[in-house]
A and B are shown apart, each in its own frame.
Chain A
């Protein structure tokens, strides 16, 4: 109350203000009935209010819990990335607005990197849009190109935002699951495939787009050229778009190659490819992403962008541009961060898989990305007491958090309504974690086995 006597008198917070507030509160109570009706939400967001992350990040925020749930690294970003941000922020002009569709030095750097990868000319000003994370690119793409009456094919399991974003655009999500196809005991993400006939049946005249995610979250699947060709053939046949979420593009493990569907014949003109600084440089808190594609598609994303947030943060874009130049120059060198991070992750992947196997679990070994899904049904944990409607994996993760102090994400969060039961015995672990985190997870998993023995 120090302020009341000093400064706020200057702002004229007079005593009658308190009386006004009391009065307005009583008015509020009597008018609340009409207000509640008139100020309800728009149709476009009806039913889109719940969100698995809001639920589970809150629960896992307790520092005593070993957090392998939400996909964020607890390893440090490379030092030069942090240094570039400090350098950028020291330049006064860099603390003010930049070009709306993307900071010039950043779009230039991105165009160079992707020209090299795609083998085609990419215009930094017309073929690229910088967004607030890949999330923002997904939103801009969907708002720009999808509307009521459209159908959008989503492959299950899927990164959870695809479904609400498609719905918010007024369109209908059409789901198709990845199916396990292997007789043997080995479990690799490559064993999960789309049935080509089943996929073909999902396409019709209303299909506006298919959303592809490779490397795939949560499965870690890296779609092969043949698999991509099947999708491409259908896109061309039905004249549909492809929204290709490739945020984990650099994280592919030995024996696998990341292929951009936009490079397949006939696909450049109908594909928007999405990337992420957060995943590329282990800086999820920078929230910078990008869409790359032909001008005739990107121009509509740019219109959405100029009417939603207009421009992204300047110092972060400048720093990212400098980081990209450093790695662009060494793209032939194994020390390039794109490759060195992947090598680091591969050993974490292998360690994680071993820990889970030793605990009697069956992990699906990912070919890419930094997630691993695990079948927990073999543990036979009885959770029948709870809410009937809640899928098993939700119950399992909540139980695991409270009783084992280890968090993960339930896989049914990544499924459409029909498929939730199919995947409810799986949970997802994130392994882009420092050694001490994985050590702590190891202790829990080893003790777990002992307790149930």
Chain B
């Protein structure tokens, strides 16, 4: 039996907290729904459509079916001991410093929750946080929810050389412009390298520039390094925490989802000095408290295997970037062949492509609130069955039209998916060039 409507008394006063103001819109909710609605070749949302590595799936099965059924119960709140221990060992080698698994590492529900803990722990009302544009979209609402003020500084695209495809290295910060963004109120800067959506891998020199400013202005660095293993063409991923003066003011964020192609496991971590991590622990114990045990156990075993195979051809950290580099080159070729201009990424599994040549398909609407690339991406999804994400999604409201002729493609996809995308692009070009 259902209650009559007359007895449903709604709350008459406004219910939601002010901290939610301006944080309700989310492109993924919209674009994921669209990609699901229209049958598309999905190069939009960033997740692999190929399987996770066998050794990791086996580790998970072992964790689930093993004798230790206590893996279905709570583990240590700040991180399952085998996982924090192996992470500490790994990062000790990578950073060249001693790490205590109990105080220098904390496990989170994906890198997403690690970011949330950082902002909640360190950003108070009135604090400014520098965000480099384009940025992974959650940084802005998270800063706002913490009562902070995002201060944006753009990566600017250098002019192309005639006839040549550009590299993501062509996206650069202007040092003077960057320096001007630091003020007395600057609490932190968010760094994302390798960068989503551009695929840019910040060079040592670029990181030293940022590091100098952090030290000069006594600013924290929240370093989102989830794509740390996905670097191509022999490029080096430099960890800013290893630069002079940076360890004590940096929180490094990582992700099992990206490292091991298991985005659905939602296991992430933070690495940093105890005087910073202690505050992340406080946020964590008052928000989610524990992370799921079995997935942590499996990821620990994955890392154990990688530690043993480090630098060898069998290492997943060698194989995955090798495989993805081939897919990158394949997609670049596909896009270039039809006249979309891809910018070759140095890292991550994303690239952005200039769609100007296809503008005739989607006429400009003057005075439209929606950025051009967003309309283009939606049209492409509905009419061509190819899903990508507009670059404007990674800019703040005021800057959404700065670079509105680009869409982002994810190439962490099976050969069949990339081939299907190629077919769509070829057909599209053919349709456009028909008399």
Binding site for B on A (CB under 8 A): 3, 6-8, 10-13, 17-18, 20-21, 23-24, 27-28, 31-32, 34-36, 38-39, 41-45, 48-49, 51, 53-54, 57, 70, 72-74, 76-77, 82, 85-86, 89-90, 92-100, 119-121, 132-133, 135-136, 139, 143-147, 161, 164-165, 168-169, 236, 239, 241, 265-266, 268-270, 282-288, 296-297, 300, 303-304, 306-316
Contact = CB atoms under 8 A, between A and B. Distances in A.
Nearest to B28: A100
Contacts of A12: 236
A135 B288 contact: yes
Contacts, number: 284
B94 interface: yes
Interface in B69-84: 69-77
6 contacts: A8-B311, A43-B124, A48-B282, A285-B72, A296-B10, A303-B23
A53 B72 contact: no
Contacts of B290: 133, 135, 284-285, 287
Contact of A3 (B57, B70, B93, B278): B93
Interface string B416-429: 00000000000000
B244 A24 contact: yes
B209 interface: no
A427 B128 CA distance: 46
A277 to B, nearest CB: 10
B291 interface: yes
Given A3-B93, A86-B64, A285-B72, A39 B116 contact: no
Contacts of A54: 77, 285
Contacts of A57: 76-77
Given A21-B96, A136-B288, A307-B142, A39 B10 contact: no
Interface size class of B (residues with CB under 8 A): 35 or more
Given A96-B264, A139-B288, 17 more contacts: A8-B94, A38-B218, A44-B124, A45-B121, A74-B73, A77-B69, A77-B72, A95-B57, A95-B265, A97-B264, A121-B2, A135-B287, A147-B17, A241-B11, A300-B17, A303-B16, A306-B29
Given A120-B2, A307-B138, A147 B18 contact: yes
| Max chain A Cβ within 10 angstroms of own Cβ: one of B244, B288, B295 | B288
The 8 closest A-B pairs by CB, nearest first: A7-B311, A314-B264, A285-B293, A147-B17, A92-B51, A309-B113, A266-B9, A41-B279
B17 A169 contact: yes
Nearest to A139: B287
B122 A120 contact: no
B109 A132 contact: yes
Contact of A18 (B96, B248, B312): B96
Nearest to A36: B275
Contacts of A307: 23, 116, 138, 141-142, 145
Contact of A42 (B72, B123, B145, B288): B123
B232 interface: no
Interface of B: 1-3, 7-13, 15-20, 23-24, 26, 28-29, 32, 45, 47-52, 57, 60-61, 64-65, 69-77, 93-94, 96-97, 109-110, 112-113, 116, 120-124, 138, 141-142, 145-146, 187, 218, 220, 236, 242-249, 261-266, 275-276, 278-279, 281-283, 285-295, 310-312
A308 B288 CA distance: 10
Contacts of B295: 313, 316
Contacts of A28: 245, 247-248
Given A297-B15, A306-B26, A21 B285 contact: no
B286 A161 contact: yes
A6 B311 contact: yes
A179 to B, nearest CB: 29
A306 B280 CA distance: 19
A296 B11 contact: yes
Contact of A10 (B23, B245, B311): B311
A3 B94 CA distance: 10
A45 B286 contact: yes
Contacts of B142: 307
B309 to A, nearest CB: 9
